[in-house]
Structure 1
Amino acid sequence: MSAGAIIMAAQIYTLIGAGVAALFLTIGMDRIDEDARGAYAFRPLLIPAVLLIWPLVIWRWLREETGTARWQARHSPPRAAHGVAAVLMALVVIVTLATALTIRQTWPADIAPVQLTAPEPAQ
């Protein structure tokens, strides 16, 4: 029952994304990006991306159409997050290494080592 609901939700999400992709790639792209006017060969390459991130495409399209987008500050949030992401990634590496060293398995000391021999050649 829940697997069917997940499949249905994925199908609905993809269908909405297909509609957004059709509208955005035919109408919207020309309206918000003057460099994309007349460039129709690359638009089919954008279909998979628009299918996946259609809520972001709608949000950015609406901001561009209404004039509320601040073009100069478009890269500020990602750049501000880079420092935080770098510190978090360093901490994750340190915690992972420390955890691996503390929970590693030790070899039992009471087992005698066994010398391996080469396999007999096939005749």
Structure 2
Amino acid sequence: MNTAELLFAGVRWWLTIGAGVAAVFLTIGIDRIDEDARGAYVFRPLLLPGVMLIWPLVLWRWLRIETGAGDEQARYVPPRATHKTVAVLMAAGILAAVVLGLINRPQWPADFVPQQISGPGE
């Protein structure tokens, strides 16, 4: 089995497991963890692709909420303490990408002689 087939099989298994998790979560689980979702069935198909992709996170959060292991109020507080650090790291990453791109520019061979191309019919 080559690399492409292996990657394709992995993605297929990931999405198959995600489809199963999405089916159970969107029919049973979402009503149990979010009171605003009770009786609202029209928006659930819109959640299907996202749940299929991030199904491990969905299962983890669902388990934490069902068992009461997580702090309910803490999930609504954004992690603002890390925003400044992430912004500085992103700016440094963009600057590093630009600098590395300028340093690693290709050089023309020394014996290359440009030739003028004539237009059609000349």
Question: Is the TM-score greater than 0.5?
Answer: yes
| Structure 2 partner of 1:57 | 58
Q: TM-score, normalised by structure 2?
A: 0.76
Residues of 2 paired with 1:28 and 1:86: CA distance?
A: 35
CA deviation map 1:99-121 (0-9, x unaligned) = 44555579xxxxxxxxxxxx8xx
Partners of 2:106 and 2:15 lie apart in 1 by: 46
The root-mean-square deviation of aligned C-alpha atoms, in Å, is 3.0
Q: What is the CA–CA distance in structure 2 between the aligned matches of 1:55 and 1:105, rounded to whole Å?
A: 43
Aligned length: 118
Quick one: distance in 2 between partners of 1:85 and 1:74?
A: 20
Q: 4+ residue runs of structure 1 moved beyond 6 angstroms?
A: none
Provide the TM-score with structure 1 as the length reference. 0.75
Q: How much identity, in percent, do the aligned residues show?
A: 57
Name the larger-Rg structure: 1
> Any unmatched runs of 5+ in structure 1?
107-118
Q: 2:87 is matched with which residue?
A: 86
CA shift, 1:92, in A, is: 1.8
The Cα shift of 1:28 comes to 0.2
**Structure 2, unpaired ranges of 5+:** 108-118
